[in-house]
A and B are shown apart, each in its own frame.
Chain A
Amino acid sequence: MLKVRIIPCLDIIKNKVVKGVNFKNIKVLGDPVHLARKYSDNGADELCMLDIKASHEKRKTFLKTVEAIAKVIDIPLTVGGGVSDIKDITTLLNAGADKVSINTTAVLNPNLIKISSLKHGSQCIVVAIDGKRYGKKMLVTIKGGRERTNKTVVSWAKNVQNLGAGELLVTSMDTDGIQTGFDKEMLIAINKAVNIPVIASGGVGELKHFKEGYKTRSTGLLAASVFHTSKFSIQQVKKFLKEEGVPVRI
C-alpha cells in the first residue's frame, strides 16, 4: 500500500534554515546540511528546500547548499524558489534536485510547465500554488503571497495538470505559519479537481493535523517549524499516524 509522505521543508536564506516567510523577523533555526541529514536518517520520506529570498547574487550560495544536501541524503529532494526559466530548472536538477518546484514563474509563463515537463519528464516538475481567500473565492497568489491573481486555485490546479505538472505543492496563505492545521477546504477542493499527487503545506502545529491532511486525499504532508524546533520528531509523527491507521513508512 502506498504510504503518505512526511516532508520536512527547509526555508533557506544565505545557507541558513530560517523560520517562515515573514522577512521582518528572520529567525535562524539551523544548518541546512545538518538538518537534511538528520531528517533523512530519522525517516523523512522526502525533503523540500526553498530559496525564499531568491536573488541573483545569492543564487550561487544556494546552489552550493543544494549540492551539499544532495550529497548527504538518499531520499528524494524537491527544490524551489527563484526558478525563472528552463535553464534554472536544468541547473537545479544537475545540482542534485530530483524535482523542481515552480510558482510565480508558472503563473506568469504557464508554457514553462509544458516545456520543462516535456524536457525532463512530468515526474520532476512540481507546481507550487499559494492560495488565499478573497471573500468566498480561493485565489492564486504570487510573489510569496504579496500579489493576487484572478485565477481560482481549482481552475489553476486543473490547468497545470493539463500542462504536464507531475505534482502540486499547495500552501494556504490563510493557514501558513499559524499552526492551526492545514487548510482542509482548499486541499479537498483541489484534490477533487485533479489526479496528480498533492503535497499539503501550511499550518501544522499538532500531531492530529497530519491525520487531517491525509484525509484530504493529499499524499504528501509538508511541515517546517514543528520539525526544526523539535516540537515533533519525524518518528513521533509516523508513530502517531500508524496508531491512527494511516499508512506510513516506519
Chain B
Amino acid sequence: MKKKVIGLIDSGSGNIGSIKKSISNIIENKPYQLQIIKTKKDFNNIDKIILPGQGAFATLMENLHKKNLYTQLLKLIKELSIPYLGICVGMQILATYGYENKKIKGLDIIKGEIIKFKKKNLIIPHMGWNTIKLKNKNIVFDQTTDLKDFYFVHSYYFKGVNSKNVTATTKYSNNFPSVVNIGNVYGVQFHPEKSHKEGSKIIKNFIFKS
C-alpha cells in the first residue's frame, strides 16, 4: 500500500525540530511518511501540509516567495483542497494582511488581519498555557478538545475573522480566534507540538482524520 505523505514546510525561518519529532512519533509504524518541503518539487505527491511558522509574518511570506513555494502552496490548498495545518505564524499568514513590522499581504484564505495586542501594560508576548473555547466543531477539533489548555507564544492575533471560520477563541486581555478553519484549511495560534498530550491529539486528528 502506498504511504500517505505528510509535507512539513521548512521555510528557513526558525526551527522545525519539535514539530518534526512530534509528527515522526505519531506516524511511527503507520502507513504514513514525512517529507520535508524546502523546494517546489518537494510538494510532489503530498497528501497533507503542515506549516510550523516561526519568526515574523513578513519573513515567512518573503521566504515562501524567495523559495518559490508560494504559488504551489496556494494551488495545493485552494484548487486541490489538500488539508493544511498552519501553526502560529503558519496560521497568521492565512490572513489578508499582517502588520508585523510592516503591512504585508498574506495568503488571503481567511479574511482578516494580524494585529498586535494593544492594551496598555499587558505582558507581551502572550506566553504560556491558555484555554481554548470551542465555537464550531470540526473533525480536528471535536468536543474532547473544548476547554483544554495549549501552549501559546505570540504578540499578534487574528482580527476580524468571520465567526463561521472561528473554531475556538482564547482570552488574553480580549477574546481572540485561537483556532480558525475554512474547509480543508486549519490554523492554530498555539503550538500543539509543545502542548503535551492535548497538543499531540490535535496533530493526530489532523493527520489521521482530515
Does A associate with B in a complex? yes
Seen from chain A, the residues whose Cβ lies within 8 Å of a Cβ on chain B are: 1-5, 40, 45, 70-71, 74-76, 93-94, 96, 98, 120-123, 166-167, 195-197, 217, 219-220, 249
Contact yes or no, A94 B196, CB < 8 A: no
Contact yes or no, A75 B151, CB < 8 A: yes
Contact yes or no, A2 B128, CB < 8 A: yes
Contact yes or no, B15 A76, CB < 8 A: no
Contact yes or no, A93 B56, CB < 8 A: no
Seen from chain B, the residues whose Cβ lies within 8 Å of a Cβ on chain A are: 14-15, 17-18, 21-22, 54-56, 121-131, 149, 151, 153-154, 171-172, 191, 193-197, 199-200
Contacts of B131 in A (CB 8 A): 1
Contact yes or no, B195 A74, CB < 8 A: yes
Contacts of B18 in A (CB 8 A): 70, 74, 96, 98
Q: Bound complex: CA of A93 vs CA of B14, how far in Å?
A: 9
Contact yes or no, B196 A75, CB < 8 A: yes
Contact yes or no, B130 A219, CB < 8 A: no
Contact yes or no, B122 A195, CB < 8 A: yes
Work out how many contacts link A and B, with CB atoms closer than 8 A: 81
Cβ distance B62 to chain A, nearest Cβ, rounded Å = 15
- Most chain B CB within 10 A, of A75, A94, A217, is at A75
Contact yes or no, B15 A197, CB < 8 A: no
Q: Bound complex: CA of A123 vs CA of B128, how far in Å?
A: 11
Contact yes or no, A2 B129, CB < 8 A: yes
Contact yes or no, B149 A96, CB < 8 A: no
Contact yes or no, A166 B122, CB < 8 A: no
Contacts of B129 in A (CB 8 A): 2-3, 5, 45, 249
Given the interface pairs A196-B123, A219-B128, the reply to whether A71 lies near B21 with Cβ below 8 Å is yes
Cβ distance A229 to chain B, nearest Cβ, rounded Å = 24
Q: Bound complex: CA of A74 vs CA of B194, how far in Å?
A: 5
15 other A-B residue contacts (CB within 8 Å) besides A2-B172, A45-B129: A2-B128, A71-B21, A74-B22, A74-B194, A74-B200, A75-B151, A75-B194, A96-B17, A98-B18, A120-B55, A121-B14, A123-B127, A196-B125, A197-B123, A197-B125
Contacts of A196 in B (CB 8 A): 123-125
Partner of B123, one of A45, A74, A122, A195: A195
A-B contact pairs, 9 of them (CB 8 A): A1-B171, A45-B128, A45-B129, A70-B18, A74-B200, A75-B151, A96-B18, A217-B123, A219-B128
Cβ distance B127 to chain A, nearest Cβ, rounded Å = 5
Given the interface pairs A196-B124, A197-B125, the reply to whether A3 lies near B149 with Cβ below 8 Å is yes
Contacts of B17 in A (CB 8 A): 70, 94, 96
Contacts of A249 in B (CB 8 A): 129, 149
